[in-house]
Each structure stands twice: as structure tokens, then as C-alpha cells.
Amino acid sequence: MFALIVSLRIKPEKRERFLQAAEENSTASVRDERGCLRFDVVEDQAEPTHFFYYEVYRDESAFDAHKQTPHYARWRQAATECVVEGGQQNTRCTVLFPRDYS
Amino acid sequence: MFALIVSLRIKPEKRERFLQAAEENSTASVRDERGCLRFDVVEDQAEPTHFFYYEVYRDESAFDAHKQTPHYARWRQAATECVVEGGQQNTRCTVLFPRDYS
């Protein structure tokens, strides 16, 4: 099981645009992709322009498929508008526990 | 919904001890705590001594209750043995999406 932790720092004036795009991307990923098991969007309580995506895919090929979807393309467009320069950091991970992911 | 992202850097020689403790803590938290909805343990693919906990609780009081459990006490003991000095970073978050968490 493959997990991606994405740290995102956004422009304060783009908050509503970002939230709309993040909700659409996360909802569509879990709903439409068989290989996407989880896509949570969380906000850092200490920094109101700092967010994380926590994404879980069945394997890395499911993540590759994610990047071919129309909702991902729409998210990337929003990201270019909302995320500050250098403000996205992706950490590729392997899920260890739970062993039987659901 | 409250989420905690924990970044953990461990001593390489303590890997097995850490994994045993992390599995026990994560498994018991989801199994025994009504307020703990998720507790994933993931490993950074780029850094084999770097791990994350991704924890979701119904609210902050459920997280406070988590810290009163015997499995949390056992985890803290293991953490003192396994985590390098200054190697734990907690980020307190609010879950935005999915709106209806499950």
C-alpha cells in the first residue's frame, strides 16, 4: 500500500479557491478511482495557510493512474494559482500498519 | 474531526523495537478507543529511519483520552528508547475533507 503526504502552503487570498479545488479532487479520487482508498485534506491548526493531503493508493501504479484523471488535471490548474512558489512538498511512503488496509 | 501528523526519526538499531511498538499502539488505538477513527503508520521511502503516524480522532477530547490509555503509556516508553533526540514532531490539524468521515 502506497501513501503520499503532501504539504501545501497557499496564498492567503486563494483560500476559498484552494478549498473548493481540494474538496473536488479528494472527493472524486476516492469516489472514481478503484485504487485510491483514502484522500484526507487537513488544515494545520497553527498555520492557517498550511494544509496536508494524506492519500492512500493500492500501489504506485494506482497513484500513476490518479495523475491521469480529469480531476487531477483540474487540481493541478488550481495548484498553480493557489500554492506559493516552492510551497508543495511530497513525501512518498509505504503503509506499514494497519496490515489489512480498509 | 481532529488529526495528528507525527513525524518520527528513530535510531536505526531500534527499528524492530519501534515497529513492534508502533503496531501495538496503532492497532489498540483503533480497536479499543471509540474516539479514534484512524491510526496509520507509514514509512518514508526516501529515509528508512523516518516514519509518520497519521491519527484521526472524533475531537480533541478523544485525543486526550487516547493519552490516558495503557497502550499509549507503552508507546511512550518505547519512544524514549527508539526516537532520536528531538526526532518527534507533532502537527495538530483539523480534518476538512471528507466532510462525513468514516
Residues of A in contact with B60 (CB under 8 A): none
**What is this structure's pTM?**
0.97
Locate all alpha helices (DSSP H) within chain B, ordered by sequence.
Answer: 15-32, 60-66, 70-82
Distance in Å, alpha carbon of A25 to nearest chain B alpha carbon = 10
Q: Read off the pLDDT band of B101 (50, 70, 90).
A: confident
**Is A99 contained in some domain?**
no
**Is A7 contained in some domain?**
yes
Per-residue pLDDT at B102 exceeds 90: no
- What percentage of chain B exceeds 70 in pLDDT? 100
Provide the CATH number for the domain around residue A69: 3.30.70.100
CA end-to-end distance (rounded Å), chain A: 11
**Is B83 contained in some domain?**
yes
CB contact under 8 A, B45 and A97: no
Q: Is the dihedral of CA A1, A94, B27, A99 positive or negative?
A: positive
Grid coordinates belonging to B68:
490516558
Residues of B in contact with A19 (CB under 8 A): 96
pLDDT of residue A17: 98
CB contact under 8 A, B97 and A30: no
**Is A100 contained in some domain?**
no
**Is A101 contained in some domain?**
no
**Is A78 contained in some domain?**
yes
Taking the C-alpha atoms of residue A64 and residue B8, their distance in angstroms, rounded to an integer, is: 27
**Chain centroid to CA B4:** 8
Taking the C-alpha atoms of residue B50 and residue A86, their distance in angstroms, rounded to an integer, is: 22
Is residue A38 within 8 A of residue B37, CB to CB? The reply is: no
Per-residue pLDDT at A101 exceeds 90: no
Distance in Å, alpha carbon of A10 to nearest chain B alpha carbon = 15
Closest-CA residue to A4 (of A58, A82, A78, A70)? A58
**Is A102 contained in some domain?**
no
3-state secondary structure of B44: strand
Q: Is the dihedral of CA A54, A58, A60, A65 positive or negative?
A: negative
- Name the residue range of residue B51's domain: 2-94
Q: Which residue of A has its CA nearest to B90?
A: A44
Taking the C-alpha atoms of residue B102 and residue B100, their distance in angstroms, rounded to an integer, is: 7
Q: Span B33-48, mean pLDDT?
A: 98
**Is A53 contained in some domain?**
yes
pLDDT in tens, A11-22: 999 999 999 999
Q: Span A56-85, mean pLDDT?
A: 98
Taking the C-alpha atoms of residue B70 and residue B59, their distance in angstroms, rounded to an integer, is: 20
How many structural domains compose chain B?
A: 1
Per-residue pLDDT at B36 exceeds 80: yes
pLDDT in tens, B49-93: 999 999 999 999 999 999 999 999 999 999 999 999 999 999 999
Taking the C-alpha atoms of residue A26 and residue A7, their distance in angstroms, rounded to an integer, is: 15
